[in-house]
Each structure stands twice: as C-alpha cells, then as structure tokens.
C-alpha cells in the first residue's frame, strides 16, 4: 500500500483557501463600518424667491432665485432647471432639479415633479414634495423629502425632513 503524500498542488490550494479566509475576515469589519457617518446640520425653514426670473413659458427653462431665512434675510441663492412634459390635456408637469446654496454652510441638491395648473406654468396651490438628493459641507449626507409650498408668484417655502 502506498500512502498518499500531499503534493505541491494540495499545499497551494490550501494556502489559497487560508489567504481567502484571512482577507475576508479582515475586510468584513472594514466594509461593515466605514467610519462615522457625517453629521447633517439641521436645515432651517427656507424661502426660495424666483420672482426676479423670467416666467417659465418654454418647455425647458432655468430659474435663479434668492434663498431667504424665516426673517426674510437673504442667506444664499438657488438655481433650478426644469423640463415640462405634458401628462394629460388639462395639466402639465415640470420635472425640476435644483441646488440651494447657503452662504458659508454648503449646498443641497433636490429634484421634484412640479404640477402646473395651466399652460403659463402657474404652480399648484397645494404644494408638492420633492427629494433631497444630497449636500455638501454642513449638509453632507442629507436625504429625504423636500416640501415646497407656494407662497406667491415665484415664491416657495421649502422645508426638508
């Protein structure tokens, strides 16, 4: 009877198995905990004032506005790009993406589907909800809802939450 002696191949396969297990064991904690999550600064209630922008009559339009705090003081700016799409004979919808920039704090990107009540792009008086897509600096990691409530022609109250 011959006793089988492990060969180089058997040793190589065993070594590969051990290395694979060791790498997985070391990588698992690193993948599971990539460090502390960024702390998102609380976002105050904001007002977006687009009243100085041209009326959105075209199918694709951009708007610029002023970001104000609850006292009415200008604290930043907002830029938005929208594309209108006809959803039915009575109502248009605008698909918008914008960025709110608050001085010395950072930026917040959002997307929203804006219901329009007529062809001249008047906003729906009931408001609408969009998505906070992310932010920079103090707002890094922000996600969730972006709630828009029309206050007047081209002016919206904006709350994140």
The CATH H-level (homologous superfamily) assignment of domain 46-160 is Allene oxide cyclase-like (2.40.480.10)
The highest-confidence range among 60-64, 139-143, 148-152, by mean pLDDT, is 139-143
- Write down the pLDDT at residue 62: 87
Domain spans, the chain: 46-160
DSSP for 74-132, please give it.
Answer: EEEEEEEEEEEEE-SSS-EEEEEEEEEEETTTEEEEEEEEEEESSTT-PBPTT-EEEEE
Average confidence (pLDDT) over 2-15: 47
What's the pLDDT tens digit per position in 87-137? 555 567 888 999 999 999 999 999 998 777 654 455 556 788 999 999 999
Q: Tell me the Cα Rg of the chain.
A: 27
Q: How confident is the model at residue 12 (pLDDT cuts 50, 70, 90)?
A: very low
pTM as predicted:
0.67
Is pLDDT above 50 for 36?
Answer: no
Distance in angstroms (rounded) separating the CA atoms of residues 137 and 18:
43
- Write down the pLDDT at residue 11: 41
Per DSSP, the three-state class of 28 is helix
The highest-confidence range among 6-15, 22-31, 129-138, by mean pLDDT, is 129-138
Is pLDDT above 60 for 72?
Answer: yes
Inter-CA distances, 36 with 30, 32, 40, 86, 160, Å: 12, 11, 12, 44, 22
- Write down the pLDDT at residue 150: 87
Q: How confident is the model at residue 4 (pLDDT cuts 50, 70, 90)?
A: low
């Amino acid at each position: 009877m011959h006793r089988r002696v492990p060969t180089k191949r058997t040793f190589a396969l065993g070594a590969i198995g051990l290395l694979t297990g060791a790498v997985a064991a070391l990588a698992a904690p690193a993948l599971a905990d990539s460090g502390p999550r960024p702390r998102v600064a609380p976002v105050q209630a904001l007002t977006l004032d687009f009243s100085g922008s041209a009326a959105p009559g075209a199918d694709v339009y951009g708007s610029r506005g002023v970001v104000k705090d609850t006292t009415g003081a200008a604290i930043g700016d907002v830029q938005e790009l929208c594309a209108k799409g006809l959803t039915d004979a009575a109502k248009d919808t605008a698909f918008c993406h914008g960025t709110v920039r608050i001085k010395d704090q950072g930026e917040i990107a959002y997307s929203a589907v804006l219901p329009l009540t007529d062809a001249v792009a008047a906003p729906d008086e009931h408001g609408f909800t969009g998505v906070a897509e992310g932010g920079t600096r103090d707002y890094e990691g922000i996600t969730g809802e972006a709630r828009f409530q029309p206050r007047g022609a081209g002016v919206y109250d904006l709350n994140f939450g």
